[in-house]
Every structure is written in structure tokens, then in C-alpha cells.
Amino acid sequence: MIFHPLVLLSSRSAAADDSRRLTHQSSSIYRVMATGGVCKCIVCEEEYHSRGDKAPKVLRCGHSFCAMCVDSLIRHHPHERRAAVCPVCRKETPEADVSDNYGLQDAVAMQWATKATLAADQAAEQIKNLEGRVGELRRGAASLQSIYKPLVGVPVGSSLGAFEYYSLVDMMGGDDTQLRLLYRASVDGPTYDDLVDKVGRKRPLVFIIQKGRYKFGVHVSDGLHLSGRTDIAAYCCDVWYLSLAGHFPRSTEIDMGCEYVEVAGADAAADGLDGYANVCIGEHLYLCWGGRDGPAADIRSCSQLLPADDVPVGYTGKMRHGYAVLGGTRDFVADDVEVLSLARSE
């Protein structure tokens, strides 16, 4: 078979045009995806959908339009033929030759998914920003100028929400106080040695403990007095609790005054009321609680009781034999334990 040179040239030119058109279409799709948008039909200028009246259809010439616009082109053919005249190149495509643009449909589905993800992320960021603004206003520190300043954010890696963080900051000194995360069991490891390695001798310390819907903090003004692995340190310091969730209508401080704190080395045991732990904060909170069997290996193993007389009015959390149990029960394994301190603490 012999092909005329002009036919070959025409075929190569058409193939080159198709290639350029596909390349342009692909680059346009990814440019739109990068901005979180969705490709639009150039006739009605509405966003495509992967299915239905706004799904992309392709004509024989290679140009694509939404199904609704293609149907309109067919119905308004100048000579009443069942064909669509391309509004870009004016080439005609019989109705039977109009087909789905599957590649563009898949791309549009991805674009809508990307758009939804970006919208969710933006909404979360806006909520976080608004929480921070409200927290700032609640603390009485807002001014017209401060509303437009960047917020002091929650320490990276912390489980605290903005409201919780501002409540904690308020109780630790107010506007200029900044905290940093020293340790989080779910990230740094749950053993007592993991805690000691991260916390060291820094002070003051705030332990944040979460169990299900319950969340509370414990402030220890003098930190942990750590010595040898078989030693036990005992001392008095200021202790207060902060209810963050599950106990009061809003974040609430419970000041315990000067409390006796006992810290045991990794190979020792601090003696609680009816068992052993590695850290005893007053007679009200034990970490690495193991009962009569000795300290537990996991820092999240806790025991906690607060006398009802020490609990402010409005408490709606759980009680046990006249004691408030901030974790829902006296003995529990926390979902997570984290420790924070002042950003410039020694």
C-alpha cells in the first residue's frame, strides 16, 4: 500500500495536535488541583462533576464540555441535525459519537476530593484560630492591636485544645506565660525511664492526664526531685489541679496548697495509701501505680482521689465513697499522659 506524502504529513500533524491538546489539558488539570479548585466547562463556566449533567463529555475534535452543554449544542444545531457543533473549532460531531471523557471524569473526582480535604483543613484552622481569640478575650488580654497579632500557639505535639491551653496559661501566670511540651507517653514511650529522660529536673511541671471524656491537669511547683535509681525523694511544694473536661461546665482550678510529694527512683517504690507507685503527689494522685504488687511499668497506670470537701461547687464528675475521681474511677490506665513546663524553665 502506498501513502501520499500529504496524507502522511496531515496525519502526523493531527497526531501532534492531539498530543499538544492532551498535554495542555493535563497541565491545566494539575494546575487547578494545586489550587484546590475544580475544572470548569468553558461554555457554562460551571465546575465539572464526575457524574450527572455536569460530567465532562468529549467530541470527536477532542474538546470537552459538560453533558448539559453538549445536549444543548445538539438541540440547537443550526440545521436541526442530531449533532453538536464544537464552539471552539466548529467541527461537527454526530450525537452517536459523543462519548464520556473518562480521564477527565477521574481527574474531576480527585479534584473534588482534594477540595473537600482542603476545606476541612481550612475549617479546622479557622476554628482553632477562633478558639484562640476567644481564649485571649476570656483572659482579658485582648486589644484592638492584639486581635491582629499572631497567637501564641499550643505547644507542638500537645493534646491540649486552645481553650484548655489558655486556661492553663492563665493559672500559671497569665499573658506572658509560654509552655513547652517535655514528654508525651504516646509519643516518647510509656515507661518511667522515658518520663525521667524527657523531664529531668525542670520545674514547675504540669501533668496532663486523659481518660476517655475526662481530662485534667496537675501542677507541681517544684518539679520532680530525681536522684539514684534506688533512692526516694520526699518534699513539700504547691500543688493544684485543673479540670479540663468531664467535671465542670468550664475549666476549673482546684488549689490543694502545699502537698507532700514523693518521687522514687526507677528501682525503688514510693509508698501510697494502699500500694506503691513511682510518683506520689500528695495522697491524691499516683503515677506508675501498681497496688500492692509494687510500681507498674507504665506511667499511664494511675490512681487518683480528691476529698469531696476540696472540690469546688458545680462538680458533675464521678464520685467514689466521698471522693472525686477525675479519671472516672479510682484506679485507671490513662489514654495518655503528657508533661509541660515553662518555655524557659531551668
Q: Provide the residue ranges of all domains of the chain, joining segments of one domain with +.
A: 5-114, 177-342
Residue 227 pLDDT class (50, 70, 90 cuts): confident
CA distances from 144 to 63, 88, 333 (A): 53, 53, 45
pLDDT digits (tens, 9 = 90+) for 49-74: 888 999 999 999 989 999 999 999 99
pLDDT digits (tens, 9 = 90+) for 295-307: 999 999 999 999 9
Cell reading at 44: 457554562
pLDDT digits (tens, 9 = 90+) for 23-45: 445 445 444 444 557 888 988 88
> What amino acid is encoded at 134 in this protein?
V
pTM of structure:
0.59
Cell reading at 205: 511541671
148: exposed, middle or buried (Cβ count in 10 Å: 0-12, 13-18, 19+): exposed
Quote the mean pLDDT of the chain: 83
pLDDT(169) > 80: yes
Separate counts of helices (H) and strands (E) for the chain: 6, 20
pLDDT digits (tens, 9 = 90+) for 241-293: 999 999 999 889 999 999 999 999 989 999 887 889 999 998 899 999 999 99
pLDDT > 90: what percent of the chain? 52
CA distances from 37 to 9, 45, 88, 188 (A): 39, 13, 23, 39
Residue 299's pLDDT is what?
97
Dist CA 57 CA 120 (whole Å) = 30
Residue 135's pLDDT is what?
56
**CATH T-level assignment (fold) for domain 5-114:** Herpes Virus-1 (3.30.40)
Opening angle at CA 209, ends 189 and 236, nearest 5: 100
Residue 142 pLDDT class (50, 70, 90 cuts): very low
